[in-house]
Structure 1
Amino acid sequence: MKKYDGYAIVTGGARGMGAAICRQLAADGYDIVCNYVSDSSRAKVETLAAEIAEKYKRRVIPAQGNVAKYEDCRRVVDTAAAALGEQIAVLVNNAGVTVRAELVDHTMEDIERVLGTNLMAGIYMCKLVLPYMYRQNAGSIVNITSIGGMTGFVRQTTYCTTKWGMNGLTKALAKEAGPHGVRVNAVAPGFIVTDMTLENKPAFESYRAASPIGMLGDPEHIAEAVSYVVGAEFMTGQVISPNGGLVI
């Protein structure tokens, strides 16, 4: 597996899948720029940083910003470059939110928040890190999408739309960035037990029953897939889906 020179940026890295991805990439030898949004998440990032420093001897740089906003994305990338230099090796677009309601009941604020966080943030972050990766003729971008971007979920139309969009971004950008030495792939999780999905806990057993191997996913399962994709130098433009067999 290929190890790139430089460090990784992970959006939405304070908890859940994001924190697991930070840990895994640190274990793989990368320093991490960990993006978070709220002031309350700062303590989680600091705890994560202490854990990674002790266990893996890697640095974690906190970078606050709402990646649904272009200027905040710019600030995250500027923070990264100021702290760790210009050698951005890996970008993981992980930040995501959802609204569980029928589309007719979505507010415009709901729609704009989900579109901004799940889709526009990925476009913004790719636009901002690509010049760094192009200059070194190397880099790996991983977009966290969802099986919702493959099949659709009831009462999550806006969410699923953003995940289809991220799959499209992955495939188109892979062709555009490949000649510059940059690979772009996506990891599309199935049902993963995180803070975001705990509100849908009544559905856990039905998802487990639908899995041929009788499993729900953990954040670490997704982190392992991200690690593989980051270093899989013959892979680009692909959407791989650790989903326990929910989608085959």
Structure 2
Amino acid sequence: MSTLEIRDLHVDVETPDGPKKILRGVDLTVKSGETHALMGPNGSGKSTLAYAIAGHPKYAVTSGEVLLDGDNLLEMSVDERARAGMFLAMQYPVEVPGVTVSNFLRTAKTAIDGKAPALRQWVSDVRGTMENLRMDPTFAERNVNEGFSGGEKKRHEILQMELLQPKFAVLDETDSGLDVDALRVVSEGVNRVKDNTDVGVLLITHYTRILRYITPDYVHVFVNGQVAEQGGPELAERLEAEGYDRFLAPA
């Protein structure tokens, strides 16, 4: 059993006008096997939380802690956080020209595990996972995210998650830009990882449509850089019906 614990996290982002405070004291705990949905309006700080956990240099943590099994992730480099068990599926995956998907995946697996995977088993694992995600086998020889459609990019993120098997996965708006078929395939991939491992999932989303396929244990409403309310799956249904108006201060 592992625990990801965010304690009183405050984060600034650098802007042309100087630092701007985005996160204003976030407290959130995710345990192995749990799925937490983080929902909120645009600009509320959800992606800032994801990138702060991952270690993006643009986001400056001014106070607070992010603990994975008691170890402070904020004291680790980005690669050390990945080796500790963190995984981020990005909202806007970047292109990596000149690096094929197959080389990228095997290099990442080697870095995470500290040794190269057995080649025959690895090839079988990659092929089987791609098949489950309805990805053409030739996809493996394409450059990472170069010329990928939105759906291909998101399937590639889940392909990484399935193969790397992290302790905790932060999925930053994995549902954005997906049609209903791609959404179903991506959701099935997340559920496969959950069924086969004890991964804890922090699922960031605006809408409830992905929650029809991935059932959360807890739902957190994120407004103005803080958790404004939390509850079970029924809270997501209320948000779908009422929106976020009741959490927003009058203009």
Do Structure 1 and Structure 2 share a fold, with TM-score over 0.5?
no
Instruction: Name the one with the larger strand percent.
Output: 2
> Which has the larger Rg?
2
Q: TM-score, normalised by structure 2?
A: 0.34
Q: TM-score, normalised by structure 1?
A: 0.34
Instruction: Name the one with the larger helix percent.
Output: 1
